Structure 1
Amino acid sequence: MAFSVLIFGANGFIGKNVFQFLKKEYNVTTCSLRTKESNIDFSNYEVYLNFVGKAHDHNKTASEEDFYHVNVDLTKNIFNAFIKSEAKIFIHISSLAALEEFESLKPLTEEDSCNPNSWYGKSKRKAEKWLLEQRLPENKKLIILRPPMVHGPGDKGNLGLLYKLISRGIPYPLSSFENKRSFISIDNFCFFIDEIIKNEGKLVSGIYHISDDELISTNQIIDIIKKVEKKNTPDLSLPKFFVKGLAKIGDIIPIPLNSLRLKKMTSDLTVSNQKIKSALGIEQLPLSAEEGLIKTIKSFKREK
């Protein structure tokens, strides 16, 4: 008999993809908190999946209260409904931003100290702390997942912006910086969710990092874009001292580059996914980091 899964926040990029993936095997229902669907019996599900979250503020109109309302208050409401239901497992999608947003000297683990910086990261961390403080009945589990940047077909994030730059033949100006980042393709993301549902008995309640196995540099991503687009655009390797000086100017006057943005674009930010892989007995993910990126970049090409 298939599990019954209730997904909150299925209208976003990740939620839509997970819904399409899970419905092939499970009885899946989506619930929008915006429309407050009253015809859903919240007690009739075995798995609660919470994708509700506010991450992007492209128009710069959101307040700090907006982030805390969506990322904290709505999470509390969904969790309280879970406690009253017959559901056995609550999977909450947090973010690497709850732990670190800019730089890591080593792959980050679930035991590392949290250093959120933005309203987004701080509100995500507050939701994590609140959830971990709640008393769970013996027959229920809480799984908090921290992914790094998720990408895939339909992604409207920073990877798409980088693709537009390189596909137009514009040289990338920061190739003198060699950084390493953790990402996760939507295929591997869905795989982790499926494995958690099928093997929840192997997991204890708590926080788990999910990511691709391999680390990828920005320069590698650019090479992949060039390969897919068949572009021979030369990289623009500006001296690091010049770029850093330009960023310091950007701290004072409004230009596209400042020190904070430069750090986010060129620093290492990596995580370890070993805890959840060991718990679930996963040896290999469906896609390598490079395979996932090629699939995403090809989807951008089709959408042009």
Structure 2
Amino acid sequence: MKIAIFGSTGFVGTHLKQNLINKYEIISYSLRDDRDNLQYIKDCAIMINLVGKAHDHKGIATEADYHYANVDLAKTIFEKFVSSKANLLIHVSSLAALEELESSDFLTEADIPNPISSYGKSKRAAEEWLLAQKISPDKKIIIIRPPMIHGSGDKGNLSLLVKLISKGLPYPLASFDNKRSFICIDNFCFFIEKTIENYHNLNTGIYHISDDQALSTKSVISIIQKEYGKRTFSLSVPRFLMIGIARIGDFLPILINSTKLKKMTSDLLVSNLKIKKELDIHTLPYTAEDGLRKTIRSFIDKK
């Protein structure tokens, strides 16, 4: 069976292609190089869309940049899907399309979306557009919402935290106690593989994926310290003081602001029960802690 992966050269795409290549014929399709030629993928049974623009930590991306990468290109891929013989389009969205800052309850697919950033809003706009399209009865669109994905080659927020701890620098937010859902790249690939194998059990719609366990920031730091053999200390800066500093950052260009502080210190929990039930998944390949340890070890091995 042929599977076309759009965005196969990125962090997630590289891992997914490697995971699937022993079972399927993988076609890496580039919209940049070949926008109009459908012949290359016309016989694919499944299409997977990993194309998109994630968070911009440098602060230079515009709303138009996000809309183009996350909405316009999703429309282009959908057009190729409906014009092909493929029966399934897996569109990888983001939890940011639903919630970005805080949820002490486990988020489900039935919750009302509340994206706040240009990234989250563009991801939600693509979801809404895709679900509004009419498709033939033999085709399905499965929209996957993962939380933060980590793994070998990851250059996101986790790698930044690892750099901080590995250098022996103190973590200043120990006064905050929070838990967040993540997904390691191996569990992500596992969910995609199971979706490919059993998509007939799914209806067109949105599905959350995540590790089975949420992790507290304190436990993440502890795991990083153990893997690096570092005995750094944490600073319990009073909450009111950190909140005050963050409010200053809302107006002045310092390292922290209210939004960043909330993302680093609030609960953000995801329920993966819907897709596990419909795909008859009982356990994932990695626990949250084991997946995190594997990611951290990959950072150490690349030193």
Deviation of the 1:240 alpha carbon: 1.0
Letter in 1 for 2:20: L
1:254 is aligned to: 253
The answer to whether the Cα contact below 8 Å between 2:38 and 2:80 also exists between their aligned partners in 1 is no
Task: Choose from 6, 9, 13 the match for 1:15.
Answer: 13
Deviation of the 1:41 alpha carbon: 2.6
Q: 5+ unaligned residues in a row in structure 2: which ranges?
A: none
1:207 is aligned to: 206
Q: Secondary structure at the match of 1:283?
A: coil
2:148 is aligned to: 149
Q: Please give the alpha-carbon distance, in whole angstroms, between the structure 2 residues aligned to 1:39 and 1:200.
A: 24
The correspondence of residues 1-304 of structure 1 with structure 2, limited to 5 A, is 3-36=1-34, 38=37, 40-304=39-303
Deviation of the 1:66 alpha carbon: 1.1
Q: Please give the alpha-carbon distance, in whole angstroms, between the structure 2 residues aligned to 1:41 and 1:250.
A: 49
Question: Over aligned residue pairs, what C-alpha RMSD do you find?
Answer: 1.1
Letter in 1 for 2:29: C
Letter in 1 for 2:122: S
Q: Please give the alpha-carbon distance, in whole angstroms, between the structure 1 residues aligned to 2:31 and 2:275.
A: 30
Map Cα deviations across residues 262-284 of structure 1 (whole Å, 9 max, x no partner). Answer: 11110001110000000000000
Deviates more, 1:59-68 or 1:86-95: 59-68
Q: Please give the alpha-carbon distance, in whole angstroms, between the structure 1 residues aligned to 2:83 and 2:31.
A: 18
Q: Secondary structure at the match of 1:41?
A: helix
Map Cα deviations across residues 120-176 of structure 1 (whole Å, 9 max, x no partner). Answer: 100100000000001121111110000000000000001000000000000100011
The answer to whether the Cα contact below 8 Å between 2:179 and 2:266 also exists between their aligned partners in 1 is yes
The answer to whether the Cα contact below 8 Å between 2:127 and 2:143 also exists between their aligned partners in 1 is yes
User: Aligned in 2, Cα 1:138/1:293: closer, same or farther, shift over 3 Å?
Assistant: same
Deviation of the 1:40 alpha carbon: 4.5
Letter in 1 for 2:21: K
Map Cα deviations across residues 211-255 of structure 1 (whole Å, 9 max, x no partner). Answer: 000000111110000000111111111111111121122223221
Q: Secondary structure at the match of 1:123?
A: helix
Q: 5+ unaligned residues in a row in structure 1: which ranges?
A: none
Q: Please give the alpha-carbon distance, in whole angstroms, between the structure 2 residues aligned to 1:57 and 1:180.
A: 24
Deviation of the 1:60 alpha carbon: 2.7
Deviation of the 1:260 alpha carbon: 1.3
Percent same amino acid among aligned pairs? Answer: 55
